[in-house]
Every structure is written in C-alpha cells, then in structure tokens.
Amino acid sequence: MKTIIKKRTNPYLAVPSAAFLNFCLVWCLNGLSAAVPEPPPGREDGQVSTVCESGEPWWMSDKEYAADPAPSSFELKKSDELALMNRTSIDIDLNDYRRDGLYFSLPDSGPAVLIVHTHGTEAYSMSDGDVYEPCDVDRTLDLSHSVVRVGDEIARILEENGIGVVHSCEIHDNPVFSGAYNRSLKDIMKNVDRYPGICVVLDVHRDAGGTASQKYRTAREVGGQTAAAIEIVVGTDLGGLKHDEWDKNLSFAVSLYEVLEGTYPGLMRPICLREARFNQHVTSGSILIEIGANGDTLEEALRSARMFAQVLAKLLKS
C-alpha cells in the first residue's frame, strides 16, 4: 500500500510566534471553540511519493539512526498492568475498557490510518546530527527535524506492514498558535471525506516542560536502547464539545497501551484522560500521542516511533 503524503510546502514566512508564551492557556482554550475557520490561504493539496528520484526516502539524513529494537517477526505481549493519569472528574477503571478486538476494522482497500500534527512545529533538543533553525523555543518550520519527521517514521513502518497511510504535513500552529485544533480538524475532515476507509487518526505531538537549562526529558532504557517515552492522550466531552463515544477511543488506547507496554516494557507513560476532545470525535480509533518531550532527542523519538508503529501494525492486523 503506497503511503500518501501531502506536499511539503509552507505558505508562511518564518516568524517567531509570540503566542507560544501563552502555551498553557491556549492549550486549554483551543478545544473549547466549536467554530472551524477556513484554512489559511496559499495551501494546496498535492501528493508526492515517499521516495525521491535517488530512490531514497526524502527524509533520510546523513546521520544513521539506531536499528529497530526488535525483528519484524516479534510477537505481541500484553501487560497485566494499566496506568492512568486522570485529569477529569470521571471515575474510571481502565480494566473496564479492556476488550478482545477493536470497535473498527481495516478497509478492504485504501488508506486506513491518518497521521496529522496539530502542533507540527514541535521539535526536540538539538544534538549531533540534528541541528535546525528554530522558529520559537524548541520549535522549527524544518519538517525534517520536527514531529512531522516522527510521523513519517510511523507512516513508513505501517506501510511496510501493508497498512495504507495518509500523512498530512500541514502546519497548523504557525504563524498563529491559537486555533490550531480548529485548523487541524478541518484537515482531518478533508482527508476522512476523501478516504472514507480511514479508521485510525493519530495526532502526533511531543510533550514539553522544565526550564531552558533543564528541559523535560522522558527518555529511558527500553529493550537495551535509549528511547523516548510515549503517552497516549484521550479526550472526553467534558470540555463542552459533542463527543458521545469517547469511551471507544479510550478502549482503543487501552488495547494499544497494553500491547506496547507488554512488548516493550518501560516504553509507556500512563494513559492521560483529559476534558477537551482533541478532535477525537471523528473516528472511534482517534488518539493523541506524545512521543517524547522537548528534552529528548529526535533520534530517541524516532526509535520510539518505530516501536509504536510496529506494535500498532500488528494490533490492527490481528
């Protein structure tokens, strides 16, 4: 199945975003507006292959990243333990959301997974071989160094396992941060309408915290290698927006968590349940994933992305 990737053109001039200074406030407010504005002018739909004329994927750099931590023939294992960070008033027992099978099934043909980035400029700590021009603190418009690069790695692994992917590389958080979730919802709906077989929507982010001198770092040893930790964020309807079946998203998150943590012990942070819906009302397989944080490196995030995609592919095809 050929991965479909949006044309990587940025219609904006790169200017520092003052809105980042209000990050925490805006994060909470973004999910509260039901209005979906028209996308900024200058964006064009287009499709390009993941392979350039040289035969190499466009995102390959001169730096050789670590190999996958497990062979493609590995078997899924389930963790007996579930962990939850409940940031809502809902009384939740994750064991009630364990189930055999998923609420959805893969389509017979066409893309099944959509990858988007509501905050596509999010980047990681610079390291040897990963130096970029920032547009704000720990952010860049260079998509080969941001979370968009991590999304490409997930798409590549899924494609290698025969799962069709649409990876939207639209930038929604620059030059204006506020309203990014409204703009990414427009992007999601456009692709779901175009490819009705899409049943899984992954909004790929990285977390942030700490100070300028000591950034939030999640990396830990997983399978003998240093990898960024992964957090699955599930939204609800407590933020005021319609989201009647958020429990199905939570069930999907639980299924994914238990095989990720079971197969790669130590990889997962607790599932985070939030009041905002984060555009997860579109499908019953919609989740937000935080791969690492601003104190981790891109290499560590890519290693985790490969683990995540390997397990997701097997889960979807099981």
Residue 143 or residue 100, greater confidence: 143
CA distances from 303 to 86, 184, 306, 309 (A): 27, 26, 5, 10
Is 19 a member of any domain?
A: no
% of residues, the chain, pLDDT over 70: 77
pLDDT of residue 74: 67
Q: Does residue 50 register a pLDDT over 70? A: no
Tens digits of residue pLDDT in 85-97: 999 999 999 999 9
* Mean pLDDT of all residues belonging to the chain: 83
pLDDT of residue 175: 96
CATH number at residue 257: 3.40.630.40
Is 183 a member of any domain?
A: yes
Is 37 a member of any domain?
A: no
Contact 83, 75 (CB under 8 A): no
Q: Does residue 10 register a pLDDT over 60? A: no
Tens digits of residue pLDDT in 210-262: 998 899 999 999 989 999 999 999 999 999 999 999 999 999 999 999 999 99
What residues make up the domain containing 268?
45-50+74-317
Is 120 a member of any domain?
A: yes
The confidence band for 167, taking pLDDT boundaries of 50, 70 and 90, is: very high
Q: How many domains does the chain have?
A: 1
Residue 253: both structure tokens together:
């998150």
Residues 6+ apart with CB under 8 A from 193: none
Residue 47 or residue 101, greater confidence: 101
Look at residue 6 and give its three-state secondary structure.
strand
pLDDT of residue 39: 30
Concatenated DSSP letters of 192-248:
HHH-TT--EEEEEEEE--B-SSSB----EEETTEEE--EEEEE--STTSS--TTHHH
Tens digits of residue pLDDT in 56-66: 333 333 333 34
Provide the pairing of β-strand 220-222 with 200-207.
Answer: unpaired
Look at residue 49 and give its three-state secondary structure.
coil
Is 83 a member of any domain?
A: yes
% of residues, the chain, pLDDT over 90: 72
Is 60 a member of any domain?
A: no
Q: Which residues of 2-40 are buried (b: 16+ CB within 10 A; e: fewer)?
A: ebbbbebebeeebeebebbeeeeebbeebbeeeeeeebe
Is 121 a member of any domain?
A: yes
Is 145 a member of any domain?
A: yes
pLDDT of residue 318: 83
Tens digits of residue pLDDT in 172-216: 999 999 999 999 999 999 999 999 999 999 999 999 999 988 999
